[in-house]
């Protein structure tokens, strides 16, 4: 399994065996936390399957959505290198499993390999891009643009999650979310089933809404 992950694919058989000794695989059910904001990190975590929602909680208890993380990605690896507590919480929205690598042992044995270091840098650069996109969404996109982008980028989650949950993720009210969906249906931008699953969507019109 480890040799299928791009960051480790060039390791020797002996190195892979060493890595396996400090690695465990754990399954999580939908609704289980991978980690909680403020918790101290111990593991370098790689998401093998399922989907994770990353979010922060404000002082008054409001949940602020940060990112939906798909499989085959490292999760919050920056905290390991910065040696800081998790700045957000991660919860499974789709059941899955992760690789958990003992970070201190990994650091001692593997971070002298320039190829591994470069791949980790690439992974962290991708997280910075995600953060930039998040700022763009919150500071620039209006409510209709947020909904249009979510439908385009996360159709599977749209079909699975309750509308109140999606509204929370997008930081808009359920009433606003419902109004926007009704508008999209009236304008034939989307077509929903009786279970509110997407049957058809006009990609060009949705792209035009959030790119405007």
* pLDDT value of residue 110: 79
DSSP string for residues in the chain? -GGGSGGGTT--HHHHHHHHHTEEEEEE-TT-EEE-TTPPP-EEEEEEEEEEEEEEE-TTS-EEEEEEEPSSEEESTHHHHHT---SSEEEEEEEEEEEEEEHHHHHHHHTT-HHHHHHHHHHHHHHHHHHHHHHHHHHT--HHHHHHHHHHH-HHHHHHS-HHHHHHHTTS-HHHHHHHHHHHHHTTSEEE-TTS-EEEE-HHHHHHHHH-
* pLDDT value of residue 133: 59
Per residue in 39-69, pLDDT (tens digit) is 999 999 999 999 998 888 877 777 787 878 8
* pLDDT value of residue 134: 56
Taking 70 as the pLDDT cut, the residues of the chain under it are 119-141, 211-212
Name the nearest CA neighbour of 177 among 186, 188, 165, 159: 165
Distance CA 69, CA 53 (A): 6
Q: What are phi and psi of 66, to 5 degrees?
A: -110, -50
């Amino acid at each position: 399994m480890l040799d299928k992950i791009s960051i480790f694919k060039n390791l020797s058989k002996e190195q892979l065996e060493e890595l396996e000794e400090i690695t465990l695989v754990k399954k999580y059910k939908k609704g289980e936390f991978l980690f909680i904001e403020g918790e101290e990190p111990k593991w370098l975590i790689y998401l093998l399957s399922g989907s994770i929602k990353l979010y922060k909680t404000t002082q008054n208890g409001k949940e602020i959505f940060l990112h939906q993380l798909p499989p085959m990605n490292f999760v919050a690896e920056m905290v390991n290198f910065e040696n800081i507590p998790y700045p957000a919480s991660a919860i499974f929205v789709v059941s899955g499993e992760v690789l958990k690598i003992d970070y201190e042992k990994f650091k001692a044995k593997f971070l002298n390999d320039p190829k591994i270091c470069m791949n980790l840098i690439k992974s962290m650069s991708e997280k910075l891009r995600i953060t930039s996109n998040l700022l763009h969404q919150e500071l620039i996109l209006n409510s209709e643009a947020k909904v249009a982008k979510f439908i385009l980028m996360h159709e599977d989650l749209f079909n699975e999650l309750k509308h109140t949950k999606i509204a929370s993720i997008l930081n808009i009210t359920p009433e606003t979310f419902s109004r926007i969906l009704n508008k999209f249906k009236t304008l034939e931008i989307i077509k929903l089933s009786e279970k509110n699953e997407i049957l058809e969507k006009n990609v060009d019109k949705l792209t035009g809404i959030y790119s405007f």
